[in-house]
Amino acid sequence: DEKEKFEPTVFRDTIVQGLNEAGSDLEAIAKFLDATGSRLDYRRYADTLFDILVAGSMLAPGGTRIDDNDKTKMTNHCVFFADEDHDAIRNYAQVRKG
């Protein structure tokens, strides 16, 4: 039995690239996440996925982002960058529930 490597940064890069390519259309983001879920192990990388969908990138202990301001490692399509109103936040929550 060969163990599968745990590579959260590769997972992050794949998710962030897809979110950025989907643009600001939440329906396109939801479709991307649904399609990608069959190829990537969302359970294994649940913490990383949650960090990306909420903060836009991976978070270090203490809550600082691990992206070195590299735009290819972060996305603005997340809760932290959403408009500050109830409907906008609810729409992001519905994408996450998918």
Q: What is the pTM of this model?
A: 0.83
Which residue, among 48, 57, 97, 47, has the nearest Cα to 77 in the 3D structure? 57
Q: 24-62 pLDDT, tens per residue?
A: 888 899 999 999 988 999 999 999 999 999 999 999 998
Domain boundaries, the chain: 1-97
The proportion of the chain whose per-residue pLDDT surpasses 90, expressed as a percent, equals 50
CA 91 to chain centre: 15
